[in-house]
Structure 1
Amino acid sequence: METDLGTAGAAVSDAGLRRRRNEDAFAIAALPRGACAVVCDGVATAPGSEEASRRAADAAVAVLTGRVSVGMDPQGATRAAVERAAEVVAGLGRDPETSPACTFVSAIVDAGGVTVGWVGDSRAYWLGEAGSRLLTRDDSWAECMIEQGALTAADAWADERAHVITAWLGADAGHVEPHVAAFRPTAPGLVVLCSDGLWNDLPDAAALAEVALKEHGPMAVARRLLRAALEAGGRDNVTVAVVPCPPPGGERGR
């Protein structure tokens, strides 16, 4: 699946080489002065997670575009979008123990910069010629161990429990408290949202930038990152959304 907004952004999603179905989903839309995007990754152990991802992404982008268009600040719009996505996913199942679930990451890119929100381990990256970085921090077992000082990063990520998520959207998720962060770049670059089908093989921001910045235009970048994931084995579903910052016609964030 592909969506191309031209110079404002683009997104692609693929089942990968080893999965029969794609439980990832994305939604991307233009804003009056930029664009917004959402990527969701269905939890494989929860039945119906393909629908959870799709509905969460669509619901969140509808909220983001609606709230931003009436002047709500990006952080408030992001929190409202996650809240709505969580409600939609929680309403899909009758039994919390067998209900659909998914992770969530979003970005609003406008003339003021970048605002990201997330729950789970789908990620947002900043990729630029002047430097690249991870903008999110996974809700995962590995990150909990690292934060607590119980394990080194190397030991935590080598553990078989490393990728167990500690927060998600779903009927069994309890109260969902999204992480929301703002980033004000000092030079042009790209915001990349992705499911773990990409970052499992290319977790380092500099490595992603080396692949992405060889291309020109959001769709070409998204396709190149997808191809890199497939070339690395394509073990999982892969979804990538790319939004330039500053947006076309916008001013650089200060």
Structure 2
Amino acid sequence: MPPLPESARATQSVTPSLCPNCADPLDADDRYCGSCGLDVTAPPPAAAAPSAPEPSGGADADGQGPATDAFVLAPPKPARAPATDDGGTLALGVVLPGARPADPREEPQVPDGPVCVACGLGGVDDDGYCEHCGHAQPRQRDHQEQELEGVAAVSDRGLRHHRNEDAFAVATASLPDGTPAVAAVVCDGVSTAYRPDDASAAASAAGRASLLAALERGTPAEDAMRAALMSAFEAVTALAAEEEPPGGVPHHNAPACTCVSAVVTGPVFTVGWIGDSRAYWIPDDRTLPAARLTEDDSWAARMVAAGLMSEAEAYADERAHAITGWLGADAVEVDPHVAAFQPEGPGVIVVCTDGLWNYAESPAEMAEAIPVDARSRPLHSARTLLGVALDGGGHDNVTVAVLPFPATVSRAGFPPA
């Protein structure tokens, strides 16, 4: 086959391994950067020829008008674009390389569906990119918040991940005797597994549904929590079955996540978990000690439990966060941990993924990070803890739920005593 002419070879493009605009990693078949939306298949702009010094007065060489540059470089990508009302991100004033500038003489065409949040002109394709400028559109799960009477939760993509693989579910219910129950389920998708975002979403939804149904039937809270964790496990396992190829050969990297849940029922609260997502107790009286309520299913925790390393040594090791328990079809064993607590005074339960506790690991650090009025302002407190993680670097997705204790929901229509 004869070689391609120079003109044909010039039009061929090869996807680089890193985005030329923001340096995020790229896959070989990527057309757009998933972080900044740059069309990575477009040829780089031609280098501008050096221009002569501008004559005084700003005129060009012929004295006919102001001198201009050959092209305008896009401003550097912001560390994080400002949040929109729907929890996504909006890049303001960023001109992406390769984007076609709007011609004021053209009548703008209104897309039939969603409009790009960056340029406001193009429609959005099925992959979530603008058909005009190529900008990646915000995902609904990039930032989510929910507040019910007696519980609030916040989940955020963080500053380094290209999507949010965490999920949460909060709910209130009533026990058969009329006692209010308030619950939160927080799940962290295992990033190295297949479909981690779907795994966390399935687990949180299934865990919430099972927990509420059991409590409303009068099932003791500890038994209801254990059953909820197993329901979450079954929901994640079912995702792997959806993806089995012909012949029934299972996935070797099945969807997986961790899970931690808490439910307040009268004078007692119950915590259940599998994995390394955690729960903390923070008393209103900050002269009293805070406490970590869970033990990680992780390599570091096993080293400490076996007496082979101190906690400081174990968590400083690069293997510290390797989990030994999770929800998923390829889990070696599924052993739900459940514990009940009856504090003497009021406070809050903080339920979170490691995207938060990496920045406030000890109970004392968590107590210092959360506002002193956390019990009366759970959503504000959850947002504050998210800010602690983002200010610390936001290297992971962040999800946190705050449950006041005793529950601040009304009983039989009356405020709690």
Classify the TM-score, shorter chain: over 0.9
For normalisation by structure 1, the TM-score amounts to 0.95
- Which whole-Å CA distance do the structure 2 matches of 1:110 and 1:226 have between them? 26
Q: Does 1:9 align with 2:151?
A: yes
Show structure 1 runs of 5+ residues with no match. Answer: none
Aligned to 1:225: 385
Q: How far off is 1:187 after superposition?
A: 0.5
Q: Does 1:197 align with 2:355?
A: yes
Q: Does 1:108 align with 2:263?
A: yes
Aligned to 2:208: 61
Aligned to 1:43: 190
Q: Does 1:90 align with 2:233?
A: no
RMSD of the alignment, in Å? 1.4
Amino acid at match of 1:200: N
Q: How far off is 1:174 after superposition?
A: 3.6
- Which whole-Å CA distance do the structure 1 matches of 2:251 and 2:339 have between them? 30
Deviations 1:196-254 (A, max 9, x none): 000011101122112213344110110000011101110100000011010125779xx
Q: Does 1:244 align with 2:404?
A: yes
Aligned to 1:123: 278
| Kept after mapping to 1: 8 A contact 2:371/2:384 | no
- 3-state SS, counterpart of residue 91 of structure 1: helix
Higher-RCO chain (CA-CA 8 Å, sequence separation at least 6): 1
| Kept after mapping to 1: 8 A contact 2:275/2:297 | yes
- Which whole-Å CA distance do the structure 2 matches of 1:131 and 1:160 have between them? 30
- Which whole-Å CA distance do the structure 2 matches of 1:62 and 1:111 have between them? 20
- Which whole-Å CA distance do the structure 1 matches of 2:216 and 2:378 have between them? 23
Amino acid at match of 1:204: S
Q: Does 1:208 align with 2:366?
A: yes
- Which whole-Å CA distance do the structure 1 matches of 2:231 and 2:316 have between them? 35
- Which whole-Å CA distance do the structure 1 matches of 2:325 and 2:365 have between them? 27
| Number of residue equivalences | 251
- Which whole-Å CA distance do the structure 2 matches of 1:96 and 1:157 have between them? 31
- Which whole-Å CA distance do the structure 2 matches of 1:180 and 1:239 have between them? 21
Deviations 1:58-107 (A, max 9, x none): 00000111110111000000011011110110111133412110001011
Amino acid at match of 2:203: A
Q: How far off is 1:131 after superposition?
A: 2.6
| Kept after mapping to 1: 8 A contact 2:161/2:397 | yes
Amino acid at match of 1:39: V
| Kept after mapping to 2: 8 A contact 1:110/1:245 | no
Aligned to 1:136: 294
Q: How far off is 1:121 after superposition?
A: 0.1
**Greater strand proportion:** 1
Is 54-63 or 171-180 further displaced after alignment? Answer: 171-180
Aligned partner of 2:335 among 162, 172, 177: 177
Based on CA coordinates, which of the two structures has the bigger radius of gyration?
2
Q: How far off is 1:34 after superposition?
A: 2.8
Aligned-pair identity in percent equals 49
Amino acid at match of 1:53: S
- Which whole-Å CA distance do the structure 2 matches of 1:86 and 1:13 have between them? 21
Post-superposition, which runs of at least 4 consecutive aligned residues in structure 1 deviate over 4 A? 249-252
- Which whole-Å CA distance do the structure 2 matches of 1:189 and 1:34 have between them? 16
Q: How far off is 1:31 after superposition?
A: 2.0
Aligned to 1:163: 321
